[in-house]
Amino acid sequence: MDVTLEFSARRTLGAFSYDASFTASSNEILVLYGHSGAGKSLTLQFIAGLLRPDRGRVVLRGATVFDSESRLNLPPQRRKVGYVVQELALFEHLSVAENVAFGLPRERDRAARVRELLGLLDISGFEDRRPSTLSGGQRQRVALARALAREAPLLLLDEPFSALDDALRNSMRRELLRLRTELGLTILFVTHDLREAHFLADRIAVFDGGRVLQLGAREDVFRRPASRRVAELTGVANIWEGVVTHVAPEAVTVNVKGASLRASPSVRAFVPGERVHAVVRAERVNLRRDMQAASSPRNLIPAEIVAEFAYGSSHVLQLQPEGPGPRIEIEIAARPYEVLNIASRKLFNVEIDPADVHLVPGEDRPGGAITA
Amino acid sequence: MIDSPRADRAATVTIAVLAVAFALFFVLPLAGLIVRAIEEESTWSLLKEPQVRQALGLSLWTSTVTVALTVVFGTPVAYILARGRFPGRAFLDALIDLPIVLPPTVAGVALLTAFGRRGIIGEPIEAWTGYAFSFTTTAVVMAQLLVAAPFYVRAAKSGFESMDPQVERVAYTLGASRVRTFFRITVPQAWPALLAGFVLCWARSMGELGATLIFAGNLEGKTQTMPLAIISAFEGSSLGLAGAIALSLILLVVAFLVLVVFRMAGRWARWT
């Protein structure tokens, strides 16, 4: 995997300050995830040359295109990146073929290349149509074909699918995974949609307030958030305040509202008495019908279902422990929900694998950004 | 409150009466002009008068030059006003709007104080080069430019403003220079607005009277455009009232033709 992009930038825009840096490699989708206004789109504009960082450096495939030290700032025309925005910005007065050919050099056999690109994106036969006569999904494909025309090694996609309906969005996401592999592209994909981020990402950069709070492999970020804030942003339902009571090589024990919770040891070392947050994703929690308190290394908490929400493919349940302990939210697929007969039975043993209990520092020890 | 069908009907009738009265107010003067022109036997022969031909020729020529200059100078200004963020932008914007609300006679006086023989620029220019603007065809164009150009700039600016700036940015990332992007992407997409501004500007300069009269004067064959010839006809030139009617009819036909062409071009712009 060769590095396609080395990026670092700082910029102050009024009260907002941006400061981020990362690298991306070929055949990789790096998802820039965060709420709107977190600095994701700014990142793409810095890379494309549409906005100038106050300080920083952008290197594309070994060639420096921006460097504040040496006062180098190549214009967007000379940076060779594919850029697709949410509104697509198609050239409505040009045909599909003319849209795609717009970025092609004159000396090339443009017609053949356009045919090839339209074939690649499965929109052959639409050459002479106006974009306004196409469906949302077809317009999307035209925008992608146009961005790919210059054979840019790096694609910058700014929430490109957010205007599509669910079914179309899913098929476009799969299409993108195929293109990534087929063309060995590096893709920076901006989204505020958690499911989309999870589906597409090889790695995720979690943006908040102009900073990258955490950057890492998808599973790392989702299951081992670096801080409480990252846990919140990545949709962790159970974030409990607690105090470390015991540290052993095989597990760290935490007291959460009177209940003892075992967590697998993490990279970060904790000491007894330290305030922490225990972070557990709703879909990692299991329900057991047998009520005997097994002496397993797993956390078992007898609890009662107090609220239920049905989402069709899954159910979200809230459980209150019979003894002391925090309220627990779990997500369970439709089939196990039926098998466990949850509709009529309310008392269960909540089972949490210590590996799924992730500890992050409490508020008094703010964690810095972790990058991997 | 629930409206009764009766009140509803009364409202409908009232609106219909108002609409018809208003429509008549627009149709009657046009009808009067056409009817009188047909009644008057001398209409056709008057159109062959050298004074009429000169006035028509001068009007067409000067307004065309005005529009050409407006497009060349006004388009970049409109674009900068629409896209740029710079100090003094609001002031420049208001300045360009000013002639739209200013009476043309005031514009004429203003031109005289700047470019007239005693004007702050006109006097030194005449001292150095011996050239005076006033009472020349150039002065006619200048008067029309000051009064009519803002209409184009206004329309072009709103055309550029209504365009998604992302479109241009994407074009840059596709390797297109700013110039190529402007001509291949921006202008075609803003075309309907530019066309509307074009027509407004042209119509306004064809009809320009006040500023021309004051700054350029009323010299047959030199500065006497159609509107000025109509005024002269009323004030007792050889053409007389019949001449004024004939001249007005020509302007009406020209205006009508421009409107038809504009509508067709607008439709064409939408379909291609």
pLDDT digits (tens, 9 = 90+) for A180-230: 988 889 999 999 999 899 999 999 999 999 999 999 999 999 999 999 999
Number of domains in chain B: 1
Judge if A9 and A43 occupy the same domain: yes
Does residue B190 lie in a domain region? yes
Judge if A214 and A241 occupy the same domain: no
C-alpha distances in angstroms, A32 versus A61, A90, A160, A266, B170? 20, 24, 13, 25, 20
Rounded-to-integer distance, Cα A176 and Cα A72, Å: 33
The shortest C-alpha distance from A243 to chain B (Å) reads: 50
Report the pLDDT value the prediction gives residue A370, as an integer from 0 to 100. 46
Quick check: A372 pLDDT over 50? no
Is residue A7 within 8 Å of residue A79, measured between CB atoms? no
Does residue B248 lie in a domain region? yes
Contacts of B272 in chain A (CB under 8 A): 93
Judge if A260 and A310 occupy the same domain: yes
> What's A280's domain CATH number?
2.40.50.100
Contacts of A80 in chain B (CB under 8 A): 175
Does residue B27 lie in a domain region? no
Q: Determine the angle formed by the axes of helices B137-161 and B104-115, rounding to 10 degrees.
A: 120
Characterize B138-170 residue by residue with b for buried, 16 or more Cβ atoms within 10 angstroms of its Cβ, and e for exposed. bbbbbbbbbbbbbbbbbbbbbbbeebeebbbbb
- Amino acid code (one letter) for A119: G
Residue B1, SS3 per DSSP: coil
Which H or E run includes B161? helix B137-161
Does residue B84 lie in a domain region? yes
Strands A370-371 and A211-217: parallel
Nearest residue in chain A measured CA to CA from B268: A93
Judge if A175 and A232 occupy the same domain: no
Judge if A200 and A285 occupy the same domain: no
Judge if A240 and A316 occupy the same domain: yes
Summarised one tens digit per residue, pLDDT across range B163-192 is 889 999 999 999 999 999 999 999 998 988
Characterize A181-195 residue by residue with b for buried, 16 or more Cβ atoms within 10 angstroms of its Cβ, and e for exposed. eebebbbbbbbbeee
Contact at CB, B173 and A149, closer than 8 angstroms:
no
Rounded-to-integer distance, Cα B116 and Cα B136, Å: 11
Contact at CB, A76 and B177, closer than 8 angstroms:
no
Nearest residue in chain B measured CA to CA from A150: B174
> Which band of pLDDT confidence, cut at 50, 70 and 90, is reported for residue A292?
low
Of A223, A238, A273, the last residue of a domain is A223
Judge if A157 and A181 occupy the same domain: yes
Does residue B210 lie in a domain region? yes
Token look-up 């010299």 returns: B219
Q: B43: which strand partners? A: none
Contacts of B171 in chain A (CB under 8 A): 91, 102
Listing DSSP states for B3-56 in one string gives --HHHHHHHHHHHHHHHHHHHHHHHHHHHHHHHHHHH-TTHHHHHTSHHHHHHH
Does residue B253 lie in a domain region? yes
Summarised one tens digit per residue, pLDDT across range A230-274 is 999 999 999 999 999 999 888 899 999 999 999 988 777 888 999
Summarised one tens digit per residue, pLDDT across range A116-129 is 999 988 899 999 99
Report the pLDDT value the prediction gives residue A85, as an integer from 0 to 100. 93
- Written as six digits, the tokens of A340 are 């466990």
Rounded-to-integer distance, Cα A121 and Cα B58, Å: 58
Report the pLDDT value the prediction gives residue A151, as an integer from 0 to 100. 87
Return the percentage of chain B with pLDDT > 90, whole number.
Answer: 52
Average predicted confidence (pLDDT) for chain B: 89
Of A186, A205, A223, the last residue of a domain is A223
Report the pLDDT value the prediction gives residue A366, as an integer from 0 to 100. 46
Quick check: A368 pLDDT over 60? no
Nearest residue in chain A measured CA to CA from B188: A93
Report the pLDDT value the prediction gives residue B115, as an integer from 0 to 100. 93
Residue B59, SS3 per DSSP: helix
- Amino acid code (one letter) for A69: E
Taking the Cβ of residue A309 and every Cβ of chain B, the question of whether any pair is shorter than 8 Å is answered with: no
- Amino acid code (one letter) for B73: F
- Tell me the average pLDDT across A34-38: 91
Contact at CB, B171 and A102, closer than 8 angstroms:
yes
Closest to A76 (Cβ–Cβ): which among B173, B184, B272? Answer: B173
C-alpha distances in angstroms, A118 versus A149, A189, B190? 10, 22, 28
Contact at CB, A146 and B174, closer than 8 angstroms:
yes
Listed residue (B3, B1, B33) closest to B256, CA to CA: B33
Rounded-to-integer distance, Cα A274 and Cα A204, Å: 29
Is residue A226 within 8 Å of residue A205, measured between CB atoms? no
The parent domain of residue A36 ranges over 3-223
Contact at CB, A77 and B164, closer than 8 angstroms:
no
Contacts of A83 in chain B (CB under 8 A): 169-170, 173
Quick check: A367 pLDDT over 80? no
Of A196, A223, A250, the last residue of a domain is A223
Rounded-to-integer distance, Cα B49 and Cα A280, Å: 96
Summarised one tens digit per residue, pLDDT across range B17-57 is 999 999 999 999 999 888 888 887 777 787 788 888 899 89
Summarised one tens digit per residue, pLDDT across range A262-289 is 998 877 788 899 999 999 999 999 998 8
Does residue B40 lie in a domain region? no
What contacts A221, CB < 8 A, 6 or more positions away?
Answer: A203, A204, A206, A214, A215, A230, A234
Average predicted confidence (pLDDT) for chain A: 90
Summarised one tens digit per residue, pLDDT across range B79-126 is 999 988 888 899 999 999 899 899 999 999 999 999 988 889 989 998
Contact at CB, A83 and B171, closer than 8 angstroms:
no
- Amino acid code (one letter) for B101: V
Contact at CB, B173 and A81, closer than 8 angstroms:
yes
CA dihedral sign of residues A341, A343, A347, A352: positive
C-alpha distances in angstroms, A58 versus A5, A18, A20, B209? 7, 15, 12, 60
Listed residue (B33, B3, B28, B9) closest to B251, CA to CA: B33
> What's A123's domain CATH number?
3.40.50.300
Q: Which residue has the higher pLDDT, B59 or B246?
A: B59
The parent domain of residue B140 ranges over 47-271
Residue B198, SS3 per DSSP: helix
> Which band of pLDDT confidence, cut at 50, 70 and 90, is reported for residue B240?
confident
Judge if A205 and A67 occupy the same domain: yes
Taking the Cβ of residue B174 and every Cβ of chain A, the question of whether any pair is shorter than 8 Å is answered with: yes
Report the pLDDT value the prediction gives residue B38, as an integer from 0 to 100. 85
Is residue B143 within 8 Å of residue B228, measured between CB atoms? no
Does residue B252 lie in a domain region? yes
- Written as six digits, the tokens of B8 are 């509803």
Summarised one tens digit per residue, pLDDT across range A59-107 is 999 999 999 999 999 999 999 899 999 889 999 999 999 999 999 887 7
* Interface test with chain B among A42, A50, A78, by most B beta carbons within 10 Å: A50
Q: Could you give the residue ranges of the DSSP H alpha helices within B116-136?
A: 122-129
Listed residue (B229, B199, B204) closest to B143, CA to CA: B204
CA angle A338, A344, A350 (to 5 degrees): 70
Judge if A163 and A238 occupy the same domain: no
Report the pLDDT value the prediction gives residue B267, as an integer from 0 to 100. 72
Strand ranges, E, within B171-240: none
Judge if A184 and A279 occupy the same domain: no
Q: What is the DSSP letter of A78?
A: G
Number of domains in chain A: 2
The shortest C-alpha distance from B75 to chain A (Å) reads: 20
> What's B206's domain CATH number?
1.10.3720.10
Rounded-to-integer distance, Cα A369 and Cα A214, Å: 5
Contact at CB, A76 and B188, closer than 8 angstroms:
no
Judge if A271 and A360 occupy the same domain: yes
Nearest residue in chain A measured CA to CA from B185: A91
